[in-house]
């Protein structure tokens, strides 16, 4: 019961307050007002046990129990002239002789200079004094350990995103974990950091911003994992709903409850779509959302909020772990395929047919021209040495790749007695590429081409770069075999090139091959 004014007799237990009001909408900033609350103690305190009173009231006040002053919080009536004092959740000791079984009266003498429209007792707890002092500290210590786990997770997935910026879901999960960590910290630091009621509204606004961010990011994350039709339009509508709730004039608890409820409803819809489409991981996430909703119905909001969000975040973490596992397996398969094709490529270069033809040509050159035979041997040794050095590397300088190609052309000139020419344009010696990919295109050009009328075949490598991609254009000037033009199939060489490009650039590359007027054109594009 409330009354505006200031009379000392209002502290008395037996004072008749039947004409007092049940609530006040607003008081003047410098005005004193009183509240009286009847309390029934069903069981008196035991020996060596003391009851305590914990309050959450906007304002500065004095606390009277059965007419006895048991505590003071701030300077009621003097807030205009004095700086802010007191805290929002103080705990007062009630003398044992005043806590006998029966009816008692708590009277508060108040002033509310900073928020004259926030009138009322928002929380009142009467319990064991030591328990009131220690409960919040114990609870906050556990919650801080809990928050630390989410802080570590946020940094871990942030660094994971920096290592592979294409996995945008890791960044969303990292930000969500950090916002949840911040939400716990802002909520539970009240146990050990005194907060004046003047700052409490600021604290609630910070919590509101954090709730808004979490309520937006969780459904956004699920929409990335379970893409659904008209995603952008529906998410735009959801964002408008969230902003409307956030900017509404409702009390904070109602805002927070409505934002979390909207998040759950929208997330449920997305996950149900994923379950219907049988997307991997959707069933477990649906179970996590269902449990979080169930908990919110059977527990108080301040408890269910954190437990529910935790279950949702665990569902998000499960989805993320599935995607990371899939990427790791794909990468490992790429490495295995690359290794297998690398060995096949080496085998192709030293296979008996190649060696027999090379050795036969070598014998002829030694008999006809020993000096050229020596040069032939040196070129062969140089190519094998280069292949042995680079085949195990992921990237090599473009200059080494060009040297390998030139050396191979020297060998093939001796073997086939065809004049091979090598040209290059715009080459950046600082660039690196996967080993053997240009060499493989060169081999394909030699194998599937006939010399032109002057008994020559020319190869040209052109490098170009812009803000979006780098490209290598490999041209073969020769007479193509008709069957090669009509029916081109992917052999070991092209498989090797694709595996090497995937190993180094994932999906950020493109390979095209097509016949041209006087030969063949291959283009490799590597996107930024």
Q: Please tell me whether residue 2 adopts helix, strand or coil conformation.
A: strand
Does the pLDDT of residue 360 top 90, yes or no?
Answer: no
Separation in Å, CA 512 to CA 346, 490, 508? 24, 12, 14
Q: Please tell me whether residue 463 adopts helix, strand or coil conformation.
A: strand
For residue 308, give the nearest of 272, 273, 265, 270 by alpha carbon: 265
Q: Tokens 């007027």 identify what position?
A: 517
Does the pLDDT of residue 267 top 80, yes or no?
Answer: yes
- Beta-carbon count within 10 A of 106 CB: 22
Confidence at residue 487, expressed as pLDDT on a 0 to 100 scale: 47
Mean pLDDT, to the nearest integer, of 191-207? Answer: 86
On whether the CB atoms of residues 305 and 208 are closer than 8 A, the answer is no
Q: What percent of the chain has pLDDT over 70?
A: 88
Confidence at residue 12, expressed as pLDDT on a 0 to 100 scale: 92
Burial of 174 (0-12, 13-18, 19+ CB in 10 A): buried
Q: What element of type H or E holds 348?
A: helix 301-350
| d(C-alpha 174, C-alpha 152), whole Å | 9
| d(C-alpha 184, C-alpha 187), whole Å | 5
| d(C-alpha 471, C-alpha 198), whole Å | 63
Confidence at residue 373, expressed as pLDDT on a 0 to 100 scale: 66
pLDDT in tens, 311-325: 888 888 888 788 777
- Across the beta sheet with 68-73, the strand order is 2-4, 33-41, 102-111, 60-65, 68-73
pLDDT in tens, 130-185: 999 888 888 888 888 888 988 998 998 898 888 777 778 889 989 999 999 999 99
The distance from CA 222 to its chain's CA centroid, rounded to whole angstroms, is 12
DSSP characters over 201-212: HHHHHHHHHHHH
pLDDT in tens, 382-432: 777 777 777 677 889 999 999 889 888 887 887 778 899 999 999 999 999
Does the pLDDT of residue 492 top 80, yes or no?
Answer: no
Confidence at residue 429, expressed as pLDDT on a 0 to 100 scale: 92
For residue 23, give the nearest of 56, 1, 50 by alpha carbon: 1
The mean of the pLDDT values for the chain is 84
| More confident of the two residues 354 and 265 | 265
| d(C-alpha 477, C-alpha 458), whole Å | 5
Query: β-pairing, 396-397 with 449-450?
Result: unpaired
Does the pLDDT of residue 297 top 90, yes or no?
Answer: no
pLDDT in tens, 89-112: 899 999 988 998 999 999 999 999
pLDDT in tens, 362-393: 666 566 667 666 677 777 677 777 777 776 77
Confidence at residue 367, expressed as pLDDT on a 0 to 100 scale: 64
- Beta-carbon count within 10 A of 310 CB: 18
When mean pLDDT is compared across 112-126, 300-314, 444-458, 486-500, the lowest value belongs to: 486-500
Tokens of 220: 């956004």
pLDDT in tens, 219-257: 998 888 888 888 889 989 999 999 999 998 777 878 888
Half-sphere exposure of 361 (CA within 13 A, CB side): 20
The pTM of this model reads 0.64
Confidence of residue 30 (pLDDT cuts 50, 70, 90): confident
Does the pLDDT of residue 459 top 90, yes or no?
Answer: yes
3-state secondary structure 475-519: EEECEECHHHHHCCCCCHHHHHHHHHHHHHHCCCEEEEEEEECCE
Confidence at residue 415, expressed as pLDDT on a 0 to 100 scale: 75
Does the pLDDT of residue 40 top 90, yes or no?
Answer: yes
| More confident of the two residues 415 and 512 | 512
Mean pLDDT, to the nearest integer, of 75-88? Answer: 89
Tokens of 234: 């529906």
Q: What percent of the chain has pLDDT over 90?
A: 32
Does the pLDDT of residue 486 top 50, yes or no?
Answer: no
Confidence at residue 484, expressed as pLDDT on a 0 to 100 scale: 53
Mean pLDDT, to the nearest integer, of 190-216? Answer: 88
| d(C-alpha 41, C-alpha 39), whole Å | 6
Beta carbons within 8 Å of 107's beta carbon, 6+ residues apart: 10, 11, 34, 35, 36, 37, 63, 64, 67
| More confident of the two residues 186 and 306 | 186
Mean pLDDT, to the nearest integer, of 457-479? Answer: 92
Query: β-pairing, 469-477 with 519-527?
Result: antiparallel
Confidence at residue 348, expressed as pLDDT on a 0 to 100 scale: 53
Half-sphere exposure of 50 (CA within 13 A, CB side): 13
Q: What element of type H or E holds 60?
A: strand 60-65
Confidence at residue 408, expressed as pLDDT on a 0 to 100 scale: 85
Does the pLDDT of residue 528 top 90, yes or no?
Answer: no
């Amino acid at each position: 019961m409330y009354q505006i004014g200031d009379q000392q007799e209002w502290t008395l237990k037996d004072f008749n307050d039947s004409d007092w009001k049940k609530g006040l909408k607003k008081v003047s900033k410098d005005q004193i007002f009183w509240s009286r609350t009847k309390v029934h103690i069903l069981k008196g305190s035991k020996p060596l046990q003391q009851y305590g009173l914990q309050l959450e009231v906007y304002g500065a006040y004095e606390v009277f129990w059965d007419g006895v002053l048991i505590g003071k919080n701030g300077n009621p009536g003097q807030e205009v002239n004095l700086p802010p004092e007191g805290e929002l959740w103080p705990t007062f000791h009630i003398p044992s002789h005043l806590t006998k079984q029966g009816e008692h009266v708590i009277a508060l003498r108040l002033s509310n200079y900073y928020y004259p429209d926030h009138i009322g007792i928002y929380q009142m707890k009467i319990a064991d004094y030591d328990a009131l002092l220690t409960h919040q500290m114990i609870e906050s210590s556990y919650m801080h350990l809990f928050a630390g786990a989410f802080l570590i997770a946020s940094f871990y997935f942030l660094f994971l995103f920096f290592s592979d910026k294409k996995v945008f879901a890791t960044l969303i999960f990292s930000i969500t974990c950090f916002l949840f960590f911040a939400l716990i910290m802002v909520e539970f630091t009240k146990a050990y950091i005194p907060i004046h009621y003047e700052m409490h509204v600021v604290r609630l606004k910070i919590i509101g911003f954090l709730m808004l961010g979490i309520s937006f990011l969780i459904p956004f994350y699920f929409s990335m994992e379970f893409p659904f039709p008209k995603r952008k339009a529906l998410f735009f509508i959801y964002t408008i709903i969230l902003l409307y709730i956030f900017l509404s004039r409702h009390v904070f608890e109602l805002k927070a409850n409505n934002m979390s409820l909207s998040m759950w409803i929208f997330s449920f819809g997305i996950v149900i779509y994923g379950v219907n489409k049988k997307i991997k991981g959707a069933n477990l996430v649906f179970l996590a959302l269902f449990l979080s909703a169930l908990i919110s119905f059977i527990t108080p909001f301040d408890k269910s909020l954190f437990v529910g969000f935790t279950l949702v975040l665990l569902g998000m973490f499960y989805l993320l772990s599935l995607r990371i596992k899939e990427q790791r397996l794909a990468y490992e398969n790429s490495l295995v395929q690359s290794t297998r094709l690398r060995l096949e490529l080496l085998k192709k270069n030293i296979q008996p047919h190649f060696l027999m033809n090379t050795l036969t040509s070598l014998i002829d050159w030694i008999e006809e021209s020993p000096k050229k035979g020596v040069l032939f041997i040196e070129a062969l040794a140089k190519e094998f040495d280069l292949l042995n050095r680079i085949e195990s590397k992921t990237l090599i300088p473009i200059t080494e790749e060009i040297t390998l190609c030139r050396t191979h052309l020297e060998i093939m000139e001796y073997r086939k007695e065809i004049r091979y020419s090598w040209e290059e344009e715009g080459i950046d010696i600082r660039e690196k590429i996967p080993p053997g990919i240009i060499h493989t295109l060169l081999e394909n050009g030699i194998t599937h081409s006939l010399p032109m009328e002057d008994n020559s075949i020319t190869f040209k490598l052109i490098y170009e770069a812009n803000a979006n991609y780098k490209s290598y254009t490999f041209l073969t000037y020769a007479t193509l075999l008709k069957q090669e033009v009509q029916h081109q199939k992917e052999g070991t060489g092209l498989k090797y090139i694709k595996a090497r490009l995937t190993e180094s650039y994932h999906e950020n590359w493109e390979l095209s091959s097509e016949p041209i007027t006087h030969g063949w054109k291959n283009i490799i594009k590597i996107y930024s």
